Amino acid sequence: MNKPFSGKPVIVFWETTRACLLSCVHCRASAIREPLPGELTTEEGVRLIDQVASFGKPSPIIVFTGGDPLLRGDLFELLSYAANAGVRFAVSPAVTELLSYDTLKRIKAAGVSAVSVSLDGASAQTHDSIRRIEGTYQRTIQAVKDAVSAGLNIQVNTAVMKSNYTELPQLFHLIRTLGVKTWELFFLVKVGRGSGVDDLTPEEYESACNFLYDASFYGLMIRTVEAPFIRRVAKERLNSGDYWNTEEYHKLRTELLRTEGEPVGHSTIGPRGTLDGDGIVFVGYDGTISPGGLVPIGIGNVKRDSLVSVYRDSELLRNIRSRKMSGPCGMCNFIEMCGGSRARAYSYHADPLSSDPACFYGTERRS
C-alpha cells in the first residue's frame, strides 16, 4: 500500500545550531552558548536547501530551528536562498533579546511561512521556571504581540510535562486572547536535559488529550508532537462520546467551559498526521539525518548522502511508515492513524519500533 508520506516528508527540521542563550529544563540538545565544531557551513546549508527542493513541488517545509537560529550570522542569507529556490520555510527562534520587533519584521520580509515561539505556562512563575531565565515569560508575551502586529503567522509551542499540564486551560485562554491561530503541544520525551523531568502518567496523557480534543472546537488549530494517540482519542470521542471520566479531565474541561463558554464549530484535529520518520525528518547541526529530533539514530549525513534517498530508502523509516511496531502498538487497531511516539519508544526501550509507554490504550492491553 502506498503511504501518504512515502515519497517526501511534510517537514524537514534543520537544527541550524546548538548555540542558545536559554537552558530549558527539558531541552533534548543540552544547548550551549557557542556553536559546536562541525556545524553546517553556509555553503553546506545552501546544498541542504537544494536537496529539500529536489523532493519536488510542493517542497517540504524547512523549519529553521536550533538551539537558536538567530545566533547564526548567515540566517537571513539562508532564508533568502530558500525563498528564491521556492522552498517554503518556517523559523523557530528562542525568545531572547535577539528576538526584537525589527527582527520579526526582517523574518516576515524574508518570506517566512510561520514563526513559532515557546510558551510553557500561563504565568511567569511556571514558564520562567521551565526556561530557567527570569523575564522570559514577559518577553515571550511581547514577542507574540509583536508577531501578530507585524502580520506574521505565529504559532505557539508548549512543552507539556507534569509541572504544567494542569495549566493547559488557562494557557489556551491566554493564547486565544493574544490572537494566535495555531497551538502545537510537545509532549515530554525524556532525553537530554529532559531525562530528569517528571513525565505524565498514561492516565494524565489521556486526560490532556481529551481536554485538547475539547479545546479544538474553539477555532484554534491544535497539533500535538509525540502524542499521536490524540487522533485515537478524537476517533473514540466521535464514536463513543465522553468515554473518559476521570477527575483530572473534568477539572480541565470545567475550566475550559468557564473561560471559553460552550464550543462552536468543528474539531481541528485531523484523522491522520505525521510521525518521526513518517512525514518528518530531522537534520542535526552537523548534518546527521535522523527520524526526528528526539530519535538520535543517525541514518545518514547530508554532507555526503542524498536527503531524498535517505528519506525514501532508509530501512528504519520504511518500517516506521509501514507500522512494523512491536508490543501493544503493533497489535493496536489504531496503528495506522496513530503509530505511537517513536521517540518515546526509543527513550524507554532503546528501540524506535517498540511500543509507546505513554498511551493508556497500550497500558490497558498490557494489564
At residue 367, the pLDDT reads 42
What stretches of 244-339 adopt beta strand conformation (E)? 275-276, 279-283, 288-290, 300-301
What is the C-alpha to C-alpha distance for residues 261 and 353, in angstroms, rounded to an integer?
42
| Torsion on CA atoms 195, 199, 202, 207, rounded to nearest 10 | -150
Q: Is residue 231 part of a domain?
A: yes
* pTM of this structure: 0.93
What is the C-alpha to C-alpha distance for residues 367 and 364, in angstroms, rounded to an integer?
5
Q: Is residue 337 part of a domain?
A: no
Write down the residue that cell numbers 528564491 correspond to. Answer: 84
Q: Residue 29: how many CB atoms within 10 A of its CB?
A: 22
At residue 366, the pLDDT reads 45
* pLDDT (mean) for 121-143: 90
Write down the residue that cell numbers 474541561 correspond to. Answer: 253
* pLDDT (mean) for 123-138: 87
Tell me how far apart the terminal alpha carbons of the chain are, to the nearest angstrom: 33
At residue 345, the pLDDT reads 95
For residue 177, give the CATH number of its domain.
3.20.20.70
Strand partners, 12: 62, 281
Q: Is residue 282 part of a domain?
A: no
Between the CA of residue 37 and those of 31, 73, 156, what are the distances in Å? Answer: 13, 15, 31
DSSP state of 322: T
Which of the residue ranges 161-170, 190-199, 215-224, 267-276 would you say has the lowest mean pLDDT? 190-199
At residue 158, the pLDDT reads 96
At residue 363, the pLDDT reads 67
**pLDDT higher than threshold 70 for residue 196:** no
> What band does 2 get if pLDDT is binned at 50, 70 and 90?
low
Work out the angle between the directed axes of helices 168-178 and 202-215 (0-180°, nearest 10): 30
pLDDT per position as a tens digit, 50-90: 999 999 999 999 999 999 999 999 999 999 999 999 999 99
Indicate the residue type of 366: R
Can you tell me whether residue 14 is helix, strand or coil? strand
Task: Write down the mean pLDDT value for the chain.
Answer: 92
At residue 33, the pLDDT reads 64
At residue 131, the pLDDT reads 76
Q: Is residue 124 part of a domain?
A: yes
Full domain range(s) for residue 186: 11-275
> What band does 223 get if pLDDT is binned at 50, 70 and 90?
very high
Q: Is residue 286 part of a domain?
A: no
Task: State the cell numbers at 215.
Answer: 479545546
Q: Is residue 154 part of a domain?
A: yes
At residue 182, the pLDDT reads 97
**pLDDT higher than threshold 80 for residue 269:** yes
The alpha helices in 5-41, defined as continuous H runs, are none
pLDDT per position as a tens digit, 21-42: 865 554 545 556 667 789 999 9
DSSP state of 97: T
**pLDDT higher than threshold 60 for residue 178:** yes
**pLDDT higher than threshold 50 for residue 264:** yes
> What band does 194 get if pLDDT is binned at 50, 70 and 90?
very low
Q: Is residue 364 part of a domain?
A: no
| Half-sphere exposure of residue 311: CA atoms within 13 angstroms, side-chain side | 27
At residue 26, the pLDDT reads 45
Q: Is residue 295 part of a domain?
A: no
Task: State the cell numbers at 185.
Answer: 503541544
Closest CA to 76 of 32, 109, 101, 51: 109
What is the C-alpha to C-alpha distance for residues 203 and 43, in angstroms, rounded to an integer?
48
DSSP state of 278: B
Task: State the cell numbers at 314.
Answer: 532508509
**pLDDT higher than threshold 80 for residue 195:** no
Which of the residue ranges 32-36, 128-132, 238-242 would you say has the lowest mean pLDDT? 32-36
DSSP string, 154-223: EEEEEEE-TTTGGGHHHHHHHHHHHT--EEEEEE----GGGGGSPPPPHHHHHHHHHHHHHHGGGS-EEE
What is the C-alpha to C-alpha distance for residues 277 and 321, in angstroms, rounded to an integer?
7
**Burial zone of 312 (CB within 10 Å; 0-12 exposed, 13-18 middle, 19+ buried):** middle
pLDDT per position as a tens digit, 307-350: 999 999 999 999 999 999 999 999 999 999 999 999 999 999 99
Task: State the cell numbers at 337.
Answer: 492513524
At residue 212, the pLDDT reads 98
Domain total in the chain: 1
Which of the residue ranges 124-133, 195-204, 358-367 would you say has the lowest mean pLDDT? 358-367
